[in-house]
């Protein structure tokens, strides 16, 4: 981000050219994912992230580079979630994600919205992944994964900039 862009509101910052390639995944909240208060239990958001991440791998045609097709899988070494609003049974969620390579690691950022209320974010988060083999030893990313990650959209102001398009 340039010094001129720092401190500007997201609607004044130009969108990256490939923002139309941000991956979006839809799902409904299952009853089993709610707690005694009738809202989604906070721990389930990590499951939503993983579900969207696997759908992203599938849509980007990277499942052949991941377990069980190969011995490589992604180990989550760090995760973070910020909860903003509650979600109830049967509400439809829209999960947007962006991914980038950070040397050996892969960083994925998520933004979860209520599909019926555009722009109403319910949670945001990030996972840091390390590719490992079946002995849990770190391995290099395949060339195919590296090439896909290099073509993925990435925004430093995630997810604020998403509110413009979602």
Residue 128 belongs to domain with CATH number: 3.10.129.10
Q: How many domains does the chain have?
A: 1
Q: Which helix (H) or strand (E) holds 107?
A: strand 105-114
pLDDT of 160 > 80? The answer is: no
Confidence of residue 20 (pLDDT cuts 50, 70, 90): low
Distance CA 71, CA 127 (A): 21
Q: What is the pLDDT of residue 103?
A: 92
The domain containing residue 102 runs over which residues?
18-164
Q: What is the pLDDT of residue 17?
A: 56
In a domain, 46, yes or no: yes
pLDDT of 10 > 50? The answer is: no
In a domain, 123, yes or no: yes
In a domain, 2, yes or no: no
Please give the average per-residue pLDDT across 11-34, as a whole number. 76
Task: Identify the DSSP state of 160.
Answer: G
Distance CA 147, CA 62 (A): 11
In a domain, 1, yes or no: no
pLDDT in tens, 55-107: 999 999 999 888 888 889 999 999 999 999 999 999 999 999 999 999 999 99
| pTM metric for this prediction | 0.84
């Amino acid at each position: 981000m340039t010094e001129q862009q720092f401190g500007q509101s997201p609607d004044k910052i130009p969108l990256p050219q490939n923002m139309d390639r941000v991956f979006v995944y839809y799902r409904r909240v299952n009853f089993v994912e709610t707690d005694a208060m009738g809202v989604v239990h906070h721990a389930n958001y990590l499951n939503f992230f993983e579900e969207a991440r696997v759908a992203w791998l599938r849509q980007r045609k990277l499942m052949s580079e991941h377990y069980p097709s190969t011995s490589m899988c992604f180990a989550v070494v760090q995760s973070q979630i910020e909860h903003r609003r509650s979600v109830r049974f049967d509400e439809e969620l829209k999960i947007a994600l962006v991914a980038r390579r950070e040397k050996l690691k892969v960083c994925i950022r998520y933004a979860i919205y209520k599909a019926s209320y555009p722009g109403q974010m319910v949670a945001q988060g990030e996972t840091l992944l390390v590719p490992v083999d079946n002995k849990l030893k770190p391995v290099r990313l395949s060339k195919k994964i590296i090439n896909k990650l290099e073509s993925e959209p990435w925004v430093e102001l995630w997810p604020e900039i998403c509110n413009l398009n979602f």
